[in-house]
Amino acid sequence: MNDWNLEYDIDLSEAITSKLDSFGDIQINVLRLDAIHPVVSGNKWFKLKYHIEEAKKKKFSSLITFGGAYSNHIVATAFAAREAKLKCTGIIRGVPFEGYDAATKEWVVMPSMPLQRHGLAGAVLGNRMHVVSGDVQSAGTGLEMHTDSHDAFEFGTAPK
């Protein structure tokens, strides 16, 4: 049991059970992952649980995640982070990235990362966000390829 409020044990006895008369005594159990939690549903709970436990164990104060616009993953991560008393930053793919220019007190559109991808690793070191590895989906084909590309985005550097 962890010390944050998002613990949901899955009880298979709560699964929907049906008997198919035409197949004898075959019993079908359906585990409704969409019913685990109203916000952190589906397999998101299983993906986030161990990352959050590790962040808490290492006494991290925040999480960073990447997802598409209107992503359930972004919402689920933000909710789970809040419940775990962690800050959360979501980087949204496919929309302009903006940065605040403290000198002019304006938001400016920042350059996009050269390669959009998912399933990647990211870290902030100093004033740079480093993005490494990940998978790239070929538009319209459904094919995915792994990349070992490393990109760095420097905060505070607005396009001229």
Beta bridge partners of 82: none
Q: What is the pLDDT of residues 86-100, one digit of tens each?
A: 988 887 776 677 777
pLDDT at 138 over 60: no
pTM as predicted: 0.52
Cα–Cα distance measured from residue 100 to residue 89, given in angstroms and rounded to the nearest whole number: 15
- Which residues contact residue 114 at a Cβ distance below 8 angstroms, ignoring those fewer than 6 apart? 149, 151
Residue 7 predicted with pLDDT over 80: no
- Tell me: pLDDT of 22 over 70: no
